Amino acid sequence: MPKRRRAALLPSNIALLQNLIRRDPGSYKEEFLVQYRHYATQKEILATNPGGFHDTEAFLDQIGFIAQVCTCYPNETKEYPEDLADLLRKHHTVLPVELREKIVQSLVLLRNRGSITSERLIQIIFPLLTTTNSKTFRKDIYATLVRLLKHANRNTKAPKLNRTVQTLLFTLLESSDGAAAAPDGLWAAKLTRELWRRSIWDDPRTVEIMKQAALHGNTKVAIAGVSFFLGVDREREKAERKKRGLVDEDNSSYASSDDDEGDKPQVAGIKHRIGVNKKTGKRARKLEAAMRAMKKKGKGAALPTQLNFSAIHLLHDPQGFAERLFGQTLSRGSGNKFTLDQRIQVLNLVSRLIGVHKLSVLGVYSYLLKYLTPKQRNVTQFMAATAQASHDLVPPDVLSPVIRKIADEFVSDGVSAEVAAAGLNTIREILTRNPLAIEADLLQDLTAYKGSKSKSVMMAARSLIGLYREVAPEMLSRKDRGKIASMEMSATAAAGQAKKLQYGVENIVVGIPGLELLEQWRKEQGLDKDDEEDAATKEAEDDDDAWNIDISDSEASEGGWIDVESDIEYNVSDDEAGIQEHHADSEDDDDDSDNEENAEEKQPEAKRVKTEGAVQTLMATKILTPADFQKLEELRTKAGLDKILHGGKAAATTQHEDTVDATSLLGPKTGKANKMERMAAVMEGREDRQFGPKKSKKDNQPHSTTNKEKARKKNFIMMIHKRDVQGKNKKSLRDKQKVLRAHIEKQKKSKGKR
């Protein structure tokens, strides 16, 4: 019986009807159609006067109701989504705010129910982003779009949808390429940036959009595009780190996170100091400890990371981009649309592009010449850009005027120590990337500053010396070359193959770097014979051991590998092998040019051939197991560490990709900090700290119910006979009055506090 009665139930409000329809769509079709017709009429009334609609509330309910149940009647409500879209498109400027929001909500709901596709939804709401003049609505739509794309790309990427949106953004940028239509393009840039930051989009097409934005005619859009390339990858990393931190329970205190960040500079600092200062056992031990600490940390942080390419790396046709960017925004013809800060930003990007992709945009260097004077505002930024824009494929004769100019303007007796240090540091940064850009006599002039009274200048000059000891000691004066470099030089001179820096010669890595170390080690251990002799029998067992490295084993070995001072001789010879390996190509070139010399001195050549041959045989005859690689890495680290300790053979293979920090060019800060700096440091310390009462913080933490809460929620009947409650009733009038008065007083006080 009850079922029949429910069937006879007449819905008196729309929520009830919705519920009934959900249970039994077939029976309530009639009622639904009436409501649908009612909605149609309401819509027409709305169309007559969209601004002053009489009963928004009811219409909102109606729209929500139909959106909820329209999956039950797909045939009847075929036109419903389009109706809503129409309504929104035509009247969004005058519709009441709630109604507008509700329509967007309903459309999203319809998409979730599968009535419309995501593409269609985006086609409906995307144009509103730029046409509406309401800030809140725009924000809403923006949030909806981001949410939608995030949702669509959650498990697997949705290439079709992404492409649709990207095309929309492209056209938006293209169509708004005029000074008047700034905000449109800005929204495209903003949306793209947000999606990139959240790693929802990470493909080259996205980067192309931002490239388009960076080349946009409007200043704001262009700067948005430029700052995307400069900053967004760091942002993305930060966001990811945050997300990961949230996932695996953030129980690390502030102290540990500080440690985390302070670690890398620590190692770098120690390395730098060892490179510059006198080598002592104490310093070496310090480095050792720092390295060990870093390695430990690195092991902990070795979580599965997504393979993320930075935006700059994903660029298609970087040369064209850099040229156009430079031509449009910086070169003389472009006019002064940009402020100095903006120009610096663009310059920063252009120089990054040049550095990362090794482009040749020769106009940049002459452009920079103009700005490289000590009086120029923000000159360090220009200097950093100069350093970033140099790489080994820039013709030295283009770069040398720049260096000459820096040397003339910054490094002379008339200028202050700071300026000189900055100049020297900049020159060093440029020369690490392109050592050929300076003549020997200028270099020697600059290195003469090693005797400066100012510490920062002295250190900068010494670092320059350190650099050239490594790359081209023959350019330094005899005194400056140092022991190892001179020894090396004399050795190579004796061998008759004085290596010379050459433009356009690149270090090409052949084979596995450091394989000869492994070979040598194996020989010493006598493993090779073993292998050859009973390869057939032993291999299976050996291999099993070798493929599965025991973690504890590796830990144990890690502790013991640094044995720095004991085998110096051995390592020196290693060094030479490394050099030979590295400069194999250049040597080959040399060989071609001076054949006669080779004929006379065949021994080193023969030796080299031998080592190479050994490597070749090892590569050809043996499959390297993970254990081998681990050993190789060990040996390499050992050798590498020795290099650092002995004057630094830090190969500058990826240096051209590094950013140059403008503040680092100034050298270490000496003397007392001024007030502003001190305040800045204080503020920085305060950044993440929370002030205020500790109690409220404690209360807000998740916890189980307190006794107080339990007492408050306890059933009244259980409490009614307790003395606590009964006592209140039995109190004398005077006592009651007292309590009440005290309560009032307390309330007043607490109010006064607020």
Partner 1 sequence: MDLLLDLKIPSLTEPEALAYLQAHLPEEVDSSLFTSISPLILDPTSTVRSAVLSLVRAIPSSSLAPHVHLISLYIHSGMTHLAPDIRADSSKFLLFVLKAEDADIPMQLVSRSWEKTLHCFGSLLGWDLASPPPPGSSIPAGSGNWNKVGNATSIDRIAKAAGHLDALSLFLRLGLSENLTPEMQAQRKVPVYHADTYKHLIPRNATTPYARLGLFVEGKGRRWTAVSSTEDIGARYQLLKSMLPGILAGLDSGRRQGGEIGRKCKHLIDFLDKVNSETEKLQ
Residue 377, Cβ density class (10 Å: 0-12 exposed, 13-18 middle, ≥19 buried) = exposed
Residue (83 or 634) nearer to partner 1, CB: 83
Alpha-carbon gap, residue 425 to 663, rounded angstroms:
11
Residue 665 in contact with residue 383, Cβ under 8 Å?
yes
Per CB under 8 A, does 27 bind partner 1?
Answer: no
Alpha-carbon gap, residue 369 to 358, rounded angstroms:
20
Residue (37 or 296) nearer to partner 1, CB: 37
Single out the residue of 18, 20, 21, 35 in contact with partner 1 (rule: CB under 8 A).
35
Q: Please state the closest distance from residue 96 (CB atom) to partner 1, in A.
A: 14
Listed ranges 44-52, 454-462, 547-555, 723-731: which one lies at the site for partner 1 (CB under 8 A): 44-52
Indicate the residue type of 9: L
Listed ranges 83-91, 158-166, 294-302, 592-600: which one lies at the site for partner 1 (CB under 8 A): 83-91
Per CB under 8 A, does 491 bind partner 1?
Answer: no
Residue (89 or 243) nearer to partner 1, CB: 89
Q: Please state the closest distance from residue 53 (CB atom) to partner 1, in A.
A: 9
Per CB under 8 A, does 550 bind partner 1?
Answer: no
Residue 501's Cβ-side half-sphere holds a number of Cα atoms within 13 Å equal to: 22
CA pseudo-torsion sign 424, 427, 433, 436: negative
Tally of CB atoms within 10 A around 42: 17
Per CB under 8 A, does 13 bind partner 1?
Answer: yes
Per CB under 8 A, does 83 bind partner 1?
Answer: yes
Per CB under 8 A, does 688 bind partner 1?
Answer: no
Listed ranges 26-34, 319-327, 340-348, 387-395: which one lies at the site for partner 1 (CB under 8 A): 26-34
Nearest to 384 by CA among 371, 396, 398: 371
Tally of CB atoms within 10 A around 425: 26
Single out the residue of 6, 22, 23, 54 in contact with partner 1 (rule: CB under 8 A).
54
Single out the residue of 33, 143, 448, 742 in contact with partner 1 (rule: CB under 8 A).
33
Listed ranges 20-28, 37-45, 135-143, 446-454: which one lies at the site for partner 1 (CB under 8 A): 37-45
Listed ranges 78-86, 147-155, 218-226, 336-344: which one lies at the site for partner 1 (CB under 8 A): 78-86
Alpha-carbon gap, residue 163 to 158, rounded angstroms:
9
Q: Is 316 helix (H, G, I), strand (E, B) or coil?
A: coil
Q: Please state the closest distance from residue 4 (CB atom) to partner 1, in A.
A: 12
Listed ranges 8-16, 330-338, 346-354, 621-629: which one lies at the site for partner 1 (CB under 8 A): 8-16
Token pair belonging to 497: 């193959």
Alpha-carbon gap, residue 142 to 184, rounded angstroms:
12
Per CB under 8 A, does 10 bind partner 1?
Answer: yes
Single out the residue of 6, 22, 27, 41 in contact with partner 1 (rule: CB under 8 A).
41
Per CB under 8 A, does 5 bind partner 1?
Answer: no
Query: For residues 60, 61, 67 and 71, what is the CA-based torsion angle, rounded to 10 degrees?
Result: -170
Residue (82 or 258) nearer to partner 1, CB: 82
Per CB under 8 A, does 79 bind partner 1?
Answer: yes
Single out the residue of 24, 27, 34, 705 in contact with partner 1 (rule: CB under 8 A).
34
Nearest to 78 by CA among 66, 88, 92, 61: 66
3-class SS letters over 206-244: HHHHHHHHHCCCCHHHHHHHHHHHHHHHHHHHHHHHHHH
Residue 506, Cβ density class (10 Å: 0-12 exposed, 13-18 middle, ≥19 buried) = exposed
Single out the residue of 3, 5, 12, 248 in contact with partner 1 (rule: CB under 8 A).
12
Single out the residue of 17, 165, 284, 515 in contact with partner 1 (rule: CB under 8 A).
17
Single out the residue of 11, 25, 374, 648 in contact with partner 1 (rule: CB under 8 A).
11
Residue 575 in contact with residue 657, Cβ under 8 Å?
no
Residue (31 or 612) nearer to partner 1, CB: 31
Token pair belonging to 365: 């260097």
Alpha-carbon gap, residue 218 to 179, rounded angstroms:
5
Q: Which alpha helices (H) appear in 646-721, and where do they start and end?
A: 675-686, 694-700, 707-713, 716-719
- Distances in whole angstroms, Cα of residue 21 to Cα of each of 41, 136, 159: 21, 34, 37
Q: Please state the closest distance from residue 13 (CB atom) to partner 1, in A.
A: 7
Per CB under 8 A, does 664 bind partner 1?
Answer: no
Single out the residue of 1, 44, 155, 253 in contact with partner 1 (rule: CB under 8 A).
44
DSSP codes, 165-213: HHHHHHHHHHHT-SSTTHHHHHHHHHHHHHHHHTTS--SHHHHHHHHHH
Residue (83 or 575) nearer to partner 1, CB: 83
Scanning residues 89 to 108, which ones bind partner 1 (CB under 8 A)? 90
Per CB under 8 A, does 42 bind partner 1?
Answer: yes
Single out the residue of 2, 26, 52, 414 in contact with partner 1 (rule: CB under 8 A).
52
Per CB under 8 A, does 37 bind partner 1?
Answer: yes
State the number of binding residues for partner 1 (CB under 8 A). 28
Per CB under 8 A, does 72 bind partner 1?
Answer: no
Per CB under 8 A, does 704 bind partner 1?
Answer: no
Per CB under 8 A, does 71 bind partner 1?
Answer: no
Binding site for partner 1 (CB under 8 A): 10-14, 17, 30, 33-35, 37-38, 40-42, 44-45, 47-49, 52, 54-55, 79, 82-83, 86, 90
